[in-house]
Amino acid sequence: MKITTQAVQIGLEWDTRTGSVSVPIYQTATFRHPGLGQSTGFDYTRSGNPTRQTLEDGIARLDGGVRGFAYSTGMAAITGLLMLFNAGDHFVVTEDLYGGTCRLFDKVFNQFGLTFTYVDTTDLAAVEAAIRPETRALFVETLTNPLLKFADLPALAGLAKSRGLLLIADNTFLTPYLLRPLDQGADITVYSATKYLAGHNDTLGGLVVAKDPALAERIYFYQNSVGAVLAPQDSWLIIRGMKTLGVRLDRHQENALKIATWLNSHPRITTVHYPGLEEHPDHELMKQQSGGFGAMIAFEVDNHALVEQVLLKTELISFAESLGGVETLMTFPEVQTHADIPPELRARLGINNVLLRLSVGIEDADDLIEDLRQALEG
């Protein structure tokens, strides 16, 4: 069954009593027991809730995993995964990843004895060279934030397996609609469900999917123990959003290619990072391994003074954090999403003072192009 169909069908099996096609929001903290030593399968919403379970079962099916887990935010989801590890454990990590993830690693979990080495995960030799005896996992973004490099997951999975490491893939930018990391050898996928999965810039959430039942049990132990779970109302909003994932991403991508092509020809734009362009270094690999190129674009303007002009003069495009919603958003990574990455690393990666990141929405592409044109040229 195609993922678009599976997504639309999420929750249809739940309410057999009334036949509701929308899963109910079980807005309850606790559940009554039918008898001593008996349970309906639900006892306390931190441990399990029918609305949240509908979402968790749904993302597990879309991703091809054995079990899904829903958290209050994407950062909470990654935090839950880090609970699997012990002081002294080491990770090899994508170097140009989301700044909030970098902050979590270096400013929170470092104090608990976890260490992280940042490398270009599109360079298999560099990844292999960074592995130490104490390395326990590779943490990669399948499409990196903000420079849009594409990881060769089967190659990384082969390396991880040969060294006895877990491969954790943050697949936020692509979603299961375009890429299923577990099919390509990853052990765990993680998502900021706030982004494309929910799709409407109206809720926060994080999702995790595990490939192995024993690993899933460990993840559940920490999810339940720590308690950073997704509330029923937010679970329902993400289910609602996921039902239109396929049609939204089709439009997102169609718009992104048009806009990236236009930006690529504009005299005030010096560089465009978008893997859907044939000149992108990972275009062919992504064409082979992914169902599409996503809808994130990063581009550099020819002068720092133009950054503020573009951010403030766009009328349809909002100068705002986040990404993946139906509305087009633009950010300045150096001082917003990636401010917590050390300046020397930002400089080496090219996260500089002329780089803008565009999350392309589903508005009319010609209207978005006109908005960019007047901001660039005004």
Assess whether 170 carries a catalytic annotation. yes
CATH of domain 245-377: 3.90.1150.10
Single-letter residue type at 199: G
pLDDT of 343 reads 79
Contacts 24+ apart (CB under 8 A), 160-165: 160/185, 160/187, 161/185, 163/131, 163/135, 165/131, 165/135, 165/136, 165/137, 165/138
What does each C-alpha distance from 334 to 117, 151, 248, 355 come to in angstroms? 21, 23, 28, 8
> Helix, strand or coil for residue 206?
strand
pLDDT of 19 reads 85
Exactly one of 61, 195, 251, 346 is catalytic; name it: 195
Exactly one of 46, 258, 268, 287 is catalytic; name it: 46
Q: Which residues pair with 300 in a beta bridge?
A: 271, 355
Assess whether 195 carries a catalytic annotation. yes
CB count in 10 Å sphere of residue 268: 16
Q: Is the peptide bond before 146 cis (omega within 30 degrees of 0)?
A: yes
Assess whether 98 carries a catalytic annotation. yes
List pLDDT tens digits, range 17-64: 788 889 999 999 999 999 998 999 999 999 999 999 999 999 999 999
Single-letter residue type at 146: P
What does each C-alpha distance from 179 to 63, 203, 265, 290 come to in angstroms? 9, 23, 29, 5
Where in the chain are the domains? 3-242, 245-377
Exactly one of 63, 89, 152, 170 is catalytic; name it: 170
Q: In the numeric block, which tokens belong to residue 39?
A: 């349970």
pLDDT band at 362 (very low <50, low <70, confident <90, very high): very high
pTM: 0.96
Same fold, 3-242 and 245-377: no
Q: In the numeric block, which tokens belong to residue 15?
A: 């309410």
Average pLDDT over residues 317-346: 88
pLDDT of 84 reads 98
- Residue pair 170/191 in contact (Cβ under 8 Å)? The answer is yes
What does each C-alpha distance from 368 to 65, 209, 262, 275, 276 come to in angstroms? 37, 35, 11, 20, 18
What does each C-alpha distance from 41 to 33, 49, 210, 236, 239 come to in angstroms? 9, 9, 21, 20, 21
What does each C-alpha distance from 86 to 102, 187, 326 come to in angstroms? 18, 18, 40
pLDDT of 126 reads 97
List pLDDT tens digits, range 152-198: 999 999 999 999 999 999 999 999 999 999 999 999 999 999 999 99
pLDDT of 176 reads 98
The residue with tokens 């996928």 is 189
Assess whether 32 carries a catalytic annotation. no
> Helix, strand or coil for residue 42?
coil
List pLDDT tens digits, range 272-291: 999 999 999 999 999 999 99
- Residue pair 110/117 in contact (Cβ under 8 Å)? The answer is no
Exactly one of 26, 71, 98, 274 is catalytic; name it: 98
CATH architecture classification, 3-242: 3-Layer(aba) Sandwich (3.40)
